[in-house]
Structure 1
Amino acid sequence: MTETHGPTGRIPDGLDEYYGQSITWEECGPYATSEMAQRTLNDPEAQCARIDVPLDYSEPGGETISIGVSRIPASNQEERIGSLVFNPGGPGAAGMGQAVHTANRLSGTELTERFDVVGFDPRGVGASEPQVECLTDEERDERRAEDHEFDGSPEAVREAEERARKFAEKCVERTEYGEDMLANIGTRDVVRDMDVLRSVLGDEKLTYLGYSYGTRIGYSYAETFGDNVRALLLDGALDPEQELVDSLIAQGEGFGQAFEEFAQWCTGREDCPLGDDPDEATEEYQDLVQPLVENGVELEDGRELSFGDATTATVQALYSQELWEPLKSGLTQLQRQRGEQLMMLADMYNERQSDGSYTTTQDAFEAIRCVDDPRVTDREKIAAAQEEYAEAAPFLDSGQPTPAARGICAFWPVPNTSEPRLPDVEGVPPALVISTTQDPSTPYEAGVQLAEAMNGRLLTFEGTQHTVFGQGNECVDSAGITYLVHGELPEEGATCGAQ
């Protein structure tokens, strides 16, 4: 089914062909690039397509790349408002399947009755072509299994930095268009793609739902295309002014608080592997996982659970209370020198598939992060940030000296295309920002600051999880749907609690 709606709205010079292109919807099966996408896109209502965008917007007549798009059509087409464009975060997360999943969770509400729910895989991600590719599946497994003991020596720093340098080099070698693709992979270009999508869908104004890093896409779009904004719902906000090292420390504080909440919950149960005293839970946890630095736990499939895998599993579980029970079970297994449950959680985080392959999400994460912010090369600044991070989230302490090695972004082959600052959104309709009090990944205060910067309204959710809209909380969902459909913001100081 081919549709032609554009060009619609304000069109940047030289881009009429892209803004006016037709879009051909078809079955979604061929678009699935992961097992999760196969499950979510296997929906009889889902439709998928690709649109073309310039590789480099400064050269619209040059190479083109494609963006994968999905939609669940509004159930009430007669009263359809338009499209609700969706991004789940990351950076580097695929949005096509997640949009279908979110539409199903909100099925029967006024939102899915009156909006087509539209997801897209950002450039370089998922079904969009080409993908960012850095490590092979085998290299990814090796990288996870090797907990490089770090003694703080100059030689150890050199080895760590050489691994980071090689990672960046492999991204250039293995990604189609090499440095040209990596130079145009960031948020600056994603929001331009999203405006092309808006026009192709036939919407004069954009209605947008963004989670976590998706909030950065939202506020960046508002600054770049403010005249084209209808409504922005931003859940789990990033602080637009925060530099990379400061965001790392803030995230450490968030995960530290979330671990304390988990420990309080776990130690209140008779079979908690962390004992019965929440004040001693961190020490008990370290006693379990720090030995993995030197000796991993062998699994039935031949892999070894490393310290990095165990802590990654814990971080994955702290994103949602639904995973606290699996984390408790995994730590209980570890007491018996078994690691299958923790490895399952770590595989979930790393998007390792049942056949041993990986999605390219982690590669895209590094590529986008490295081009979105100024690189950090000061080793003393890096070491200080790592120390503050460990102090804020002591459960992640490996017991080794703090690494002062420069990371992947220090060796990135192209300059950054964005930088931290408050967006200029004068005249843009007020956004609704949802922030969770004990969010482990994007701290509550970042949402407070973003709501103010966007001249918008803050909705506080009292709970411990990362993002909340569309996940079954009636208070949050009602407020968000009312805003997106009718443009009505909740009252000042509005707060929702866990059910």
Structure 2
Amino acid sequence: MRMRAGIILVGLVLVAGCSTVVTGTPTAGKVQRSGPAGAVPAGLEQFYSQALVWSGCPQFATDDESRQAFAGRGLQCATMRVPLDYAKPDGPAATIGLLRRPADDQQHKVGSLVINPGGPGASGMSAAAGLYSSDSKAEVFKRFDLVGFDPRGVGVSSPKVHCLTDQETDRQRLEPPTTDVAKIEAENKDYAAKCTQRTGADVLATVGTRDVARDMDVMRSVLGDQKLTYLGFSYGTRIGTEYAQQFPQSVRAMVLDGAVDPDADQLDEQIGQAKGFDGAIKDFIKWCVARADCALGHDAGAAQTKLEQLVNPLKTRPVAVGDRQLSFSDAATGIIQAMYSNQLWEPLNTGLTELAQGQGRVLMILADAYLGRGQDGHYSNLQDAFTAINCVDQPQLKDRAEVQKETEQLAEAAKGTFLDEAQPPVPALDVCAFWPVPPTSVPHRPAVTGLAPVLVISTTGDPATPYQSGVDLADALHGGLLTFQGTQHTAFLQGNECVDDAASSYLIDLKMPAEGTRCS
């Protein structure tokens, strides 16, 4: 779950599965029909039984990230058709991009492990390619075909959410912070209008998590799986939770890591993230001041003030980085990016040392990574999709009195934190207040019956999705909870043997870790 930018943003028919391979031309790839499998909703048979054309992945690349990720050996890519609007299955179709890395041990393969890395708006195809290369020895890679997908509107999938041009995004990043409510609202209204014009209201109306979960059930069937085995990180846990509510009988196993609390509203999420990132920054400071080369000195009590002194001048005097400029917004974004993993603390310290010397190369790299800007200057649609999906997953807040009240609550909760100093909350209507279509879901506590036991992984020092959210989600889904003690966002398949072994055993053998299991 990516950090919100404060208050200013934000009848079944049972059929048997089968598998046949149809010979295709070399340029078309291999045509494979593995479905329909499992439960198929009436009226959607044409989608649940479709064949997939698997071919090399480089031709699917759309940006620097995907070009690098899709170059890996042994990867297969395809696109899948789904209704743009499930209420009109005979109407226009959307396509969903898929990437598959076949299981090492095909003879003892369990099935497909479908993954989503979160965002919302992140590419599951790129994540699946990168996840394998990060730990190719993990047992799950031997026993599952790893399948990543770009949710509707994202990355390879089409039609794609598109709001700002590359040049418009670059200009937006250079704007100094403002508390001018009228200016903020005018920009938010303009952004929503551009999204509508460049994407289409019909597409924006269908990019929410409700419809992504429906797409995932089509995917389960065309991959030939009677039931879904799923791994969701961050916002991907919201997709998993939604799928569990819509298709509880079709879940085989589900790992939800870095849980988004489905019952939390936008204010709850903002307060949780303000506190979470503040805790992560404090942990970074403790790590930093113990080093001889710490850019913030060696006094933990004075380090946050030093941090603010380094970045605040950028509000009026950006730092040149080649033919670009590092703005205050970029520096703050780079710092936030580094809080997602302690493996980025070393680069962050280097970036802050550079900033003290009037340079901004490393902080710009960190900010570009967060915002999806490639070396060629082209942005992925991560940020546009993030906004579009959130705007149909949350109620629209247009009552100015309520906005004022929530702003005050957020300001009180964030008082004294780096984020509060960087950009105090402003009582302006956010982008979603000007969105052209209504939400398709609202925060609520899941009520699910007939669901197989699911495993929730929650990290004690997670800055983006607080630990308690995982506790609450495990309780709501009557699932198991695996606790990881650390400061990072998500934990599975990131090198911790305790977490990897416990979650892999669950996914492969359906063996839930013992109650109260903690890893560090």
Q: Deviations over 1:458-492 (max 9, x none)?
A: 11101110011011111100001000000000001
3-state SS of paired residue (2:229):
strand
Deviation at 1:401? 5.9
The one of 343, 346, 364 equivalent to 2:367 is: 346
Equivalences for 1:296-445 in 2 at 5 Å?
Answer: 296-301=318-323, 303-377=324-398, 378-388=402-412, 390-391=414-415, 394-398=417-421, 402-445=425-468
Q: Deviations over 1:245-289 (max 9, x none)?
A: 110110111000000000011111122221211122111111111
Distance 2:116 2:293 in 1: 39
- Letter paired with 1:48: C
| Structure-2 change in CA distance of 1:385 and 1:365 (3 Å) | farther
Query: Is the 2:166–2:378 Cα contact (8 Å) retained in structure 1?
Result: yes
Query: Is the 1:382–1:406 Cα contact (8 Å) retained in structure 2?
Result: no
Equivalences for 1:183-332 in 2 at 5 Å?
Answer: 183-301=205-323, 303-332=324-353
Distance 1:188 1:257 in 2: 32
Percentage identity across paired residues of the two chains: 50
| Farther off after superposition, 26-35 or 383-392 | 383-392
- Letter paired with 1:326: P
- Letter paired with 1:371: V
Deviation at 1:99? 0.7
Q: Deviations over 1:79-106 (max 9, x none)?
A: 1111000000000000012112222334
3-state SS of paired residue (1:71):
strand
Return 5+ residue gaps in structure 1 as ranges.
151-155
Distance 2:74 2:85 in 1: 34
Query: Is the 2:63–2:378 Cα contact (8 Å) retained in structure 1?
Result: no
Q: Deviations over 1:4-45 (max 9, x none)?
A: 122211111210000011111000011112222222211221
Distance 2:407 2:438 in 1: 23
3-state SS of paired residue (2:334):
helix
| Structure-2 change in CA distance of 1:112 and 1:399 (3 Å) | closer
3-state SS of paired residue (1:167):
helix
Distance 1:103 1:285 in 2: 36
Q: Deviations over 1:195-222 (max 9, x none)?
A: 0000000100000000000000001100
Query: Is the 1:84–1:209 Cα contact (8 Å) retained in structure 2?
Result: yes
User: Which residue does 1:132 correspond to in 2?
Assistant: 161
Q: Is 1:494 equivalent to 2:517 in the alignment?
A: yes
Q: Deviations over 1:303-355 (max 9, x none)?
A: 22111111100000011111101111111111122111111111111111111
| Structure-2 change in CA distance of 1:148 and 1:262 (3 Å) | closer
Query: Is the 1:317–1:345 Cα contact (8 Å) retained in structure 2?
Result: yes
- Letter paired with 1:63: P
User: Which residue does 2:80 correspond to in 1?
Assistant: 51
- What is the TM-score normalised by the length of structure 1? 0.96
User: Which residue does 1:110 correspond to in 2?
Assistant: 139
3-state SS of paired residue (1:207):
strand
- Letter paired with 1:316: Q
Query: Is the 1:290–1:398 Cα contact (8 Å) retained in structure 2?
Result: no
Q: Is 1:451 equivalent to 2:449 in the alignment?
A: no
Query: Is the 1:246–1:385 Cα contact (8 Å) retained in structure 2?
Result: no
- Letter paired with 1:476: V
- Letter paired with 1:336: Q
Distance 1:298 1:125 in 2: 32
- Letter paired with 2:392: V
User: Which residue does 1:38 correspond to in 2?
Assistant: 67
Runs of 4+ residues over 6 Å off in structure 1: none
| Farther off after superposition, 462-471 or 331-340 | 331-340
- Letter paired with 2:250: N
3-state SS of paired residue (2:67):
helix
Distance 1:19 1:399 in 2: 49
Query: Is the 2:274–2:419 Cα contact (8 Å) retained in structure 1?
Result: no
User: Which residue does 1:153 correspond to in 2?
Assistant: none
- Letter paired with 2:359: R
Q: Deviations over 1:378-434 (max 9, x none)?
A: 331342244145326x21234676411111111111000111111122220111111
The one of 181, 197, 208 equivalent to 1:157 is: 181
Distance 2:418 2:191 in 1: 27
Query: Is the 1:386–1:403 Cα contact (8 Å) retained in structure 2?
Result: no
3-state SS of paired residue (1:11):
strand
| Structure-2 change in CA distance of 1:401 and 1:353 (3 Å) | closer
The one of 26, 49, 68 equivalent to 2:55 is: 26
User: Which residue does 1:473 correspond to in 2?
Assistant: 496
Query: Is the 1:298–1:338 Cα contact (8 Å) retained in structure 2?
Result: yes
| Structure-2 change in CA distance of 1:455 and 1:400 (3 Å) | closer
Distance 1:428 1:71 in 2: 26
| Farther off after superposition, 324-333 or 5-14 | 5-14
Q: Deviations over 1:105-148 (max 9, x none)?
A: 34343311221000000000000011100000000000001114
3-state SS of paired residue (1:51):
strand
Distance 2:154 2:304 in 1: 37
- Letter paired with 2:444: R
Number of aligned positions between the proteins: 488
Distance 1:120 1:399 in 2: 35
